[in-house]
Amino acid sequence: MLELRDIRLSYGNSQILKGVNLSVSRGDVVSIIGPSGTGKTTLLKCINYLARPSSGTIALDQIRMDYRRADKPTVQAIRLRTAMVFQQFNVFKNMSVIQNVMDPLIVVQRKSKEEARQIAVQELERVGLSDKLDMYPSQLSGGQLQRTGIARALAVRPDVMLFDEPTSSLDPELVGEVLKVINDVAASGMTSLLVTHEMQFAKKISNRIVFMDQGVVAAEGSPDEVFDTPSNPRLAQFLKSEVAFQ
């Protein structure tokens, strides 16, 4: 369903992605793990072209694009079928919770206000924010902000959800409420890509784990293969340090 081939990207002289391949089937929940600075987030942002690879190709079902000849209509087509949840939440600060979810539906999808509201109410209920509809971002906790971000992403009915370290900037006691929502989303059959440092969580919800190291996919496999019998020495070392850290 989603296929990335030979993605390369550099900032200045430093190569961030050095030829990454990734393929995701419908309904897959794929977690991308690895040390900081290995390009996990950048890879995710290549999918919706927030990061711009110098070369490589993407295929999302029938939509195909060579990044060397990226064009607006194709980028837009991909963006309309994916939705991203950000590490820093990135909810719109000038809008209430429900407006955050409604706005893309009205502005981008040209839905009527009533229909947008209906969808927004439904999605916000799903993430447990029914009592916060008219609150503004400045009044919310990190966990509530991130759940708003998730509802906003779900509301556009994407084919693929992209979670970029969704709990990394949360206070520890708020991580649980967000993980629970992501778990529900993954369990509902939504195709999901998740960049995360929550190893236990990744192991539990994913059907595939991708280990990235120094700009390439260094290992991948089922959660059991990756976590219990790591064949790659760098992966083994990384898991050890993560466990020691936790």
Partner 1 sequence: MFDFDVLLPDTLSILSAVPLTLALAATIFVLSTIIGSLFAFIEQRRVPVLRQGVVAYKVVFKGVPMVIVIFLAYYGVPPALQFLTTLFGLEYNAHSLPNWILLVIALTACVSAFQAEIVKGALNSFDRGQADAAYSLGYTGGQMFRRILFPQVILAAIPDLANSVMVIMKALSLGFAIEVIDIFAQAQLTAALNYYYLEAFVVAVVIYMVIAYLVTFSADRAEKALRLRM
The binder of partner 1 chosen from 8, 24, 46, 86 (CB under 8 A): 86
CB 16 within 8 A of CB 194: no
Residue 154 Cβ vs partner 1, minimum distance, rounded to whole Å: 12
Report which DSSP code applies to 96: -
The length of the chain in residues reads: 246
Tokens describing residue 142: 């990190």
Q: Based on the number of CB atoms within 10 Å of its own CB, is 221 exposed (0-12), middle (13-18) or buried (19 or more)?
A: middle
Triad 219, 43, 156: Cα angle to 5°: 120
Stretch that binds partner 1, among 26-34, 58-66, 135-143, 188-196 (CB under 8 A): 135-143
Q: Which CA distances in Å does 28 have to 25, 128, 171, 231? A: 5, 24, 28, 23
Report which DSSP code applies to 218: E
Whose Cβ is closer to partner 1: residue 109's or residue 214's? Answer: 109
Rounded to 5 degrees, φ, ψ at 245 are -70, -40
What span, in angstroms and rounded, lies between the C-alpha atoms of 113 and 104?
11
Residues in contact with partner 1, total (CB under 8 A)?
28
Residue 16 binds to partner 1 (criterion: CB under 8 A): no
The binder of partner 1 chosen from 31, 82, 191, 196 (CB under 8 A): 82
Residue 89 Cβ vs partner 1, minimum distance, rounded to whole Å: 8
Residue 104 binds to partner 1 (criterion: CB under 8 A): yes
The binder of partner 1 chosen from 8, 40, 132, 152 (CB under 8 A): 152
x/- mask, partner 1, residues 156-175, rule CB under 8 A, reads: x-------------------
What span, in angstroms and rounded, lies between the C-alpha atoms of 204 and 196?
13
Whose Cβ is closer to partner 1: residue 98's or residue 199's? Answer: 98
Q: Which of residues 218-237 bind partner 1 (CB under 8 A)?
A: none
- Structure-token match 């977690």, residue found: 31
Residue 72 Cβ vs partner 1, minimum distance, rounded to whole Å: 9
Tokens describing residue 131: 């009592």
Residue 157 Cβ vs partner 1, minimum distance, rounded to whole Å: 12
Tokens describing residue 239: 């898991």
Whose Cβ is closer to partner 1: residue 70's or residue 218's? Answer: 70
Q: Applying CB under 8 A, which residues contact partner 1?
A: 48, 50, 76, 79-80, 82-84, 86, 88-94, 96, 103-104, 107-108, 136-138, 149, 152-153, 156
